[in-house]
Amino acid sequence: MCPPVHFGVLYEINPWMHKEVVVDRDRAHEQWKGLVATLRGAGAEVVVAEPDPAVPDMVFTANAGIVNCRADAPHQFVPAHFRFPERQPETEIFARWFAGQGFTVDRLPVALAHEGAGDALPFRGSLLSGYRFRSDLPATAELARLTGAAVRAVELVDERLYHIDLTFCPLDDRRAMAAPMGWDRYGRTVVEALVPEPLWLTDDEALAFSANSVVVGSTVVMATTPPRVGRQLEAWGFDVVTCDVSEFLKAGGGCRCLTLALDVSLGGPPRSPARPPEPSGVTTG
Ligand code: ARG
């Protein structure tokens, strides 16, 4: 995560951003600290990157790039290539940060845009990737080549839901929140086939940033919790925590955009392969 020291709505690169809307930076700082405390309380370890005055949207670390902590190879980081010049300096800032943490930094071809984990979410062995507004479709093939991930690309169709992490939220290995309004008919069939137990979000729930939630173990941290969504998550055994990030919604980002998961492994063998329990007293053959 990256503290909102230089955060503001200083330009408009998504439909939620309006330059005339003033960000209350003290309030943003309180909200950000509240999110950090909530994530830590849920059991997450939070590592903080130093903010840079040149890039007010650097708080949205989900877009930094793709993290791939493989068990059998050096940890890998593929820095984002931002669509808009306003965010482009973040590429080198984050590449340096990850290199400093011992990651191997692998680059996408310069001509292709891809906005990192904001447009690519691992779920059940696939990397569900969004393209159109911020990421280019050919970048997903490059990501597959660089990371070994099985990439499934879906086209985003509503510019208010301009990143895939505004339309999809993995909850555990069978369940995910999913906002069909964000995809075309083909994308919907991809997600239907991928998710055994989906929580389909209505358009209003999607536009309230419900899919942009952070999941830490069995805790789901959400910017707003529509009652129906909260009930379903609780029925599934999740603890739901609502975390006010209203200052960041002014820039079109919710809870998840403010984080980048580092415990991610794509392709190759999983880091801690789940093993079925040994059957006891049962003989076969
Ligand atoms: N203002 C930022 C932008 O438009 C918000 C980024 C939101 N990030 C996300 N992962 N959805 O780039």
Q: What percent of the chain lies above the pLDDT cut of 70? A: 94
Domain-embedded: residue 202: yes
pTM: 0.93
Domain-embedded: residue 10: no
What's the chain's average pLDDT?
94
Distance CA 85, CA 16 (A): 18
Domain-embedded: residue 11: no
Domain-embedded: residue 30: yes
Q: What percent of the chain lies above the pLDDT cut of 90? A: 92
257 belongs to the catalytic site: yes
Domain-embedded: residue 61: yes
pLDDT in tens, 136-177: 999 999 999 999 999 999 999 999 999 999 999 999 999 999
What contacts 109, CB < 8 A, 6 or more positions away? 142
Does residue 167 line the site of ligand 1, with CB under 6 A? no
Structural domains counted in the chain: 1
CATH number at residue 210: 3.75.10.10
pLDDT at 270 over 60: no
Does residue 253 line the site of ligand 1, with CB under 6 A? yes
State the closest ligand 1 atom to the C-alpha of 212, by its place in the atom list counted from 1.
11
pLDDT at 104 over 60: yes
Q: What is the pLDDT of residue 268?
A: 52
DSSP secondary structure letter of residue 202 = P
pLDDT in tens, 217-254: 999 999 999 999 999 999 999 999 999 999 999 999 99
pLDDT at 261 over 50: yes
pLDDT at 283 over 60: no
> 72: pLDDT confidence band, cut at 50, 70 and 90?
confident
Q: How far is the centre of ligand 1, averaged over its atoms, from the C-alpha of 117 (Å)?
A: 11
Domain-embedded: residue 13: no
Domain-embedded: residue 284: no
pLDDT at 269 over 50: no
pLDDT at 131 over 60: yes
Domain-embedded: residue 39: yes
Does residue 119 line the site of ligand 1, with CB under 6 A? no
What contacts 88, CB < 8 A, 6 or more positions away? 81, 82
Q: How far is the centre of ligand 1, averaged over its atoms, from the C-alpha of 198 (Å)?
A: 24
Distance CA 265, CA 261 (A): 10
Cβ pair 44, 241 in contact under 8 A: no
**Where in the sequence is the domain holding 146, given as residue range(s)?**
25-258
Backbone angles phi, psi at 177, to 5 degrees: -85, 140
Of 5-19, 158-172, 256-270, where does mean pLDDT reach its minimum?
256-270
> 81: pLDDT confidence band, cut at 50, 70 and 90?
very high
Pocket test for ligand 1, best of 12, 14, 21, 60 (most atoms within 8 A of CB): 60
* Over residues 26-51, mean pLDDT: 98
pLDDT at 279 over 80: no
163 belongs to the catalytic site: yes
Q: What is the pLDDT of residue 119?
A: 98
